[in-house]
Chains A and B, each alone.
Chain A
Amino acid sequence: MAIIDIEPQEEIRQRMMNDLKRALKKPMNKRHWVMVIDLGKCVGCHACTTACVAENHLPPGIVYRPVMEKEIGRYPNVRKTFLPRPCMQCDNPPCIKVCPASATWKRPDGIVEIDYDKCIGCRYCINACPYSARTFDKGFYYCDDTPFVPDYEKLPSFEYGKEWPRKNRDDSPVGNARKCTFCLHRVEKGILPACVTTCLGDATYFGDSNDPDSLVSALLGSPRLMRLKEEFGTHPSTFYLV
């Protein structure tokens, strides 16, 4: 399915990469990262979930971008719908308000950041998020209860531009709340988030909503646009085309 909401110009990944380069030339407070997910094009392949787990070296029990599936209609008129759910990067985030240790905040570019070294692991933010977008890292390895935990399980993740190794299960990010960062460590190097790159249905778009020429800005003008749970007043930066 083509993008029906905008005029086709060039290959969309190339266009988003160009959008990214333009945005990165601006100061951080002049750009606002948003994600747009076209639910009509999502095929429910879970490639985004898997790419995210691989990119961020997510341990068991941590997921940043699950895809919900729902069966609708009665036989023979049965369809499946899919709903990928990254962090909404809300403009009015309930998770920040409740953090007792000032360990999470909204960056000027719209990303909700967690400082793993400051988080006390109280999990108040997890409860406060209406999207269940935060998960608690209890320190599992995939090879727990086997004779050998291979080294790749202890490789660092690179969230928020830092290295977070997993050698010691007492150190952060173990014991912290974790969530999708829109792959900030990639984005700041001009690479699209892993879920966007991997999406085989071309259903996920990413870019700077402050740039009127960006692909996402064009999509934000679509009449199909909606956001999840708007009634909570969270003003998410993740949009859906339905």
Chain B
Amino acid sequence: MKKQIASLIWLIAIIGFVIGCYGIYQRFAFGHRLTDYGSYIPWGLWVATYIYFIGLSAGSFLLSTLVYVVKIEKLEKIGKLSLFTAFGCLIAALISIWLDLGHEFRVYRVILHPNFKSMMSWMGILYSSYFVVILFELWFAMRVDLIKTASIGTGLIAAVCRFLALGSSDTSDKSRARDSRVLKVLGSIGVPLAIAFHGGVGMLFAVVGARTYWHSGLTPIVFLVGALASGGALLTAIVYVWGPDRNRPQFEDMMRFLGKIVLSLVLLDLLFEISEYFVGMYAGIPDEAIPIKAVLFGHYWYVFWVVHVLFGVIVPVWIFTRNAVSRPVGKTSPGAIAFAALLVAVTFMALRLNIVIPAQINPEIEGLQYAFMGPGLNYTYLPTVSEWLVTIWIASFGLLLFLIGYNVLPIVNKDDKEVA
């Protein structure tokens, strides 16, 4: 069953990648002319995709710190898996925001000529640091396994592992203890870093005083909780298909534990959301109330009520409660928990879209939309086919990166890998 799911995901990733290539061609051949965002709604689907993936990355990275810093035994074997998931999602997020730039080849300016008053400059600095921390952490977490795989195997995989071991050959207990110490230090650096960069993404939106819908002290916190909820959910679904110990009794225990974590985070996120919406709607100040009304009752109401509330909250919460909380151990279904987690992870995109787009639909000066006509000078937005194709390509690329990495690198130990 799990083998079939894995094969299906390979198939989806390859098809998405191939179809998405046409979107990438269009992006480079026609620039931004085939997109629907413009001057009055300057940020569209690709920005939402970026905060979606960066949230997934931050969330699964923070869960990896439960292994390397807090040393929670139940999750010990998924440390590398969560780090690698965070790595794949980070790459997808960075590609998404890179393609969104008007001059993508000038991106180096953010690092070389930063403006320290700009949250986006800080993002450049923090992402670079985070990228380095993840790479180092992954290397130290996999070092011994890389050496082992390189020594026992032959062929391409062994060669890749030998190359990635970077000449290291020490598998003694002493070196393992050093790896563990280094991982604890890197993980400890990673915690404030992940909080800073993802809280920082929230800040990036929150500091825009001109957009009242974003301009709230709660925004960075909502981003963090959302990251944990979506990243945790993605990791739970991944653990079910590719995780360790899948045929062992402790697997159910681990899935229940992950299910409980995701359940609480989804509910906490919902609480923040309700608070934001109630406060905004009660005061009824148009700058804030118009975007909220658009989310709840606008043209795209189903994105909130059906995709987010029904399939992203109600259904998963019900499944989690039954399988991870109320039913006794031994009678729960890890598959159901994984399915609920997958629902949360996938539908979180609706929440991200509902953060980015509605804030921009309200004309900053009354009548601006009628004053001058032209492409990009309107307050409606619906992603074009070209935009969707690029997003599909990015998601498929991230997925393929994960799948190839999983098969080549010792992300899950061979002994723990056996599948029913």
Which A residues fall within an 8 A CB radius of B? 49, 60-63, 66-70, 83, 85, 94, 97-103, 118-124, 126-132, 134-140, 144, 169-170, 172, 174-177, 228, 232
Complex Cα spacing A60 to B39, Å: 11
CA distance in complex: A20, B246 (Å): 79
Residues in chain B near residue A85, CB distance under 8 A: 365, 368, 371
We find that the number of chain B residues with CB closer than 8 angstroms to chain A is 48
Contact B109–A175 (Cβ < 8 Å): no
- Smallest beta-carbon distance B239→chain A, Å: 36
B364 close to A101 (CB less than 8 A):
no
| Pick from A61, A100, A132, A169: contact of B115, CB under 8 Å | A100
Q: Is B402 an interface residue (CB 8 A)?
A: no
Chain B proximity of A175: nearest CB distance (Å): 3
A residues less than 8 Å from B115 (CB atoms): 97, 99-102
State the B residues within 8 Å of A (CB).
31-33, 35, 38-40, 42-43, 100-104, 106-107, 109-110, 113-115, 117-121, 123-124, 204, 207-211, 360, 363-368, 370-372, 374-377
- List the B side residues contacting A60 at CB < 8 Å: 374-375
Q: Which applies to chain A's interface (DSSP): helix, strand, loop or mixed?
A: loop
Q: Which of B109, B368, B371, B372 contacts A101 (CB 8 A)?
A: B109
Q: Give Cα A54–Cα B417 distance, bound, in whole angstroms.
A: 68
**Known contacts A68-B366, A175-B103, then 10 further A-B pairs from the complex at CB < 8 Å, ordered by chain A residue:** A68-B368, A69-B371, A100-B115, A119-B106, A121-B104, A122-B100, A122-B101, A136-B32, A136-B39, A174-B31
Q: A68-B371, A69-B367, A134-B39 are in contact. Are A139 and B31 (CB under 8 A)?
A: yes
Q: Say yes or no: A126 contacts B365, CB within 8 Å.
A: no
B120 touches A100 (CB 8 A): yes
Complex CA gap A124/B211 in Å reads 12
Q: Is the CB of B209 within 8 A of A138?
A: no
Q: Which of A49, A118, A128 contacts B109 (CB 8 A)?
A: A118
List 25 contacting pairs A-B, 8 Å CB cutoff, sorted by A.
A49-B371, A61-B38, A63-B372, A68-B367, A68-B370, A70-B366, A83-B365, A85-B368, A97-B118, A101-B106, A102-B113, A120-B102, A121-B102, A123-B42, A124-B120, A130-B209, A132-B363, A132-B368, A136-B42, A138-B35, A144-B33, A174-B102, A175-B31, A176-B103, A232-B209
Chain A residues contacting B42 (CB-CB under 8 Å) are 123, 126-127, 136
For B120, the chain A residues whose CB sits under 8 A away are 98-100, 122, 124
Give the Cβ gap from B263 to chain A, nearest Cβ, in Å. 35
A122 to B119, CA, bound (A): 12
Q: Is the CB of B210 within 8 A of A138?
A: no
Are A139 and B210 in contact, CB atoms less than 8 angstroms apart? no
Contact of A63 among B102, B119, B360, B377 (CB under 8 A): B377
CB–CB A120/B43 < 8 A:
no
**A-side contacts of B374, CB under 8 Å:** 60-63, 140
Which of A127, A140, A177 sits near B211, CB closer than 8 Å? A127
Given A49-B372, A97-B117, A138 and B109 touching (CB < 8 A)? no
Asked if A138 and B376 make an inter-chain contact with CB atoms under 8 angstroms apart, the answer reads: yes
Chain B: CB-nearest residue to A178? B39
The smallest beta-carbon distance between B145 and chain A, in angstroms, is: 39
- Out of B43, B109, B210, name the residue touching A103 (CB < 8 Å): B109
Give the distance in Å from the alpha carbon of A129 to the alpha carbon of B42 in the complex.
12
CA–CA, A63 and B377, complex, Å? 9
Complex interface: chain B residues within 8 A of A120 (CB): 101-104, 106-107, 109-110
- Residue of B32, B102, B365 near A68 (CB, 8 A) is B365
Shortest C-beta distance, A36 to chain B (Å), equals 18
Q: How far is the CB of B383 from chain A (nearest CB, A)?
A: 15
Say whether A175 contacts B372, CB under 8 Å: no
Residues of A within 8 A of B43 (CB): 123, 127
**Chain B residue contacts of A61, Cβ below 8 A:** 38-39, 374-377
Going nearest first, the 4 A-B pairs with the smallest beta carbon separation are A121-B102, A175-B102, A100-B120, A66-B371
| Cα–Cα, bound, A63→B376 (Å) | 11
* Residues on the B chain within 8 Å of A174, using CB: 31, 102
Instruction: Please tell me if the beta carbons of B101 and A121 are within 8 angstroms of each other in the complex.
Output: yes
A135 to B38, CA, bound (A): 8
Contact of B207 among A68, A98, A138, A169 (CB under 8 A): A98
Of the candidates B33, B104, B210, the one having the most CB atoms from chain A within 10 angstroms of its own CB is: B210
Q: Are A101 and B102 in contact (CB under 8 A)?
A: no
> Of A100, A102, A138, A232, which one neighbours B38 at CB under 8 angstroms?
A138
Min CB distance B380 to A, Å, is 15
